[in-house]
């Protein structure tokens, strides 16, 4: 076997677990119960396969009174945003910093979301992992930042 191909195979096998965790489907998330998290960005990873924000939640965290009535942007996926916001709850546990997984970078660019940095405030509605004993992790459906709302399931229309 060609040594270069062998080394490439070893390198690919070593990164497979990282790639699998970074690019997963919806099956590990509780999509029946959308959750709300808001807070200050502590770290941001503006890269593929998904943009990630690490957020320190507001203390105390509370659902905004206007959440159910917030206008949401149109997107190409068939998402009933109003119903989703109406079902949104606070997470049962906050547990310190939360990792918010946003959309892939190409979709973030399609929405023209400005690069969010440390110290900025964000709000998110999305789905949390079903697993216990894992750090708080949310896959974001709607992001609210700097007075704008972004639907991250699909491209804007």
- CB distance 140 to 124 below 8 Å: yes
Query: Distance between CA 129 and CA 109 in Å, rounded?
Result: 26
Say if 3 falls within a structural domain: no
User: For the segment 85-112, what is each residue's pLDDT rounded down to a tens digit?
Assistant: 999 999 988 779 999 999 999 999 999 9
Flag whether 133 is in a domain: yes
In a domain, residue 4? The reply is no
- pLDDT per position as a tens digit, 1-29: 544 443 334 344 443 333 344 445 667 89
Characterize the bridge pairing of strands 35-45 and 121-128: antiparallel
The CATH number that applies at residue 85 is: 2.40.50.140
CA pair distance 54, 98, nearest whole angstrom: 6
What is the distance, to the nearest Å, from the Cα of residue 141 to the centroid of all Cα atoms in its chain? 7
Q: What is the pTM of this model?
A: 0.83
User: Could you identify the residue written with the tokens 């709302």?
Assistant: 149
Q: How many domains does the chain have?
A: 1
């Amino acid at each position: 076997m060609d040594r270069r191909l062998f080394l490439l195979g070893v390198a690919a096998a070593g990164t497979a677990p990282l790639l699998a965790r970074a690019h997963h489907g919806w099956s590990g998330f509780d999509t029946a119960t959308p959750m709300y998290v808001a807070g200050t960005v502590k770290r941001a990873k503006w890269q593929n396969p998904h943009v990630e924000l690490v957020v320190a939640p507001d203390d105390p965290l509370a659902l905004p009174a206007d959440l159910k009535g917030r206008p949401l942007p149109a997107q190409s996926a068939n998402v009933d945003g109003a119903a989703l916001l109406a079902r949104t709850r606070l997470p049962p546990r906050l547990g310190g910093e939360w990792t918010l997984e946003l959309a892939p970078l190409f979709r973030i660019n399609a929405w023209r979301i400005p690069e969010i940095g440390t110290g900025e405030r964000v709000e998110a509605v999305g789905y949390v992992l079903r697993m216990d004993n894992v750090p708080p992790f949310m896959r974001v459906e709607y992001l609210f930042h700097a007075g704008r709302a972004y639907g991250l399931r699909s491209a804007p229309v």
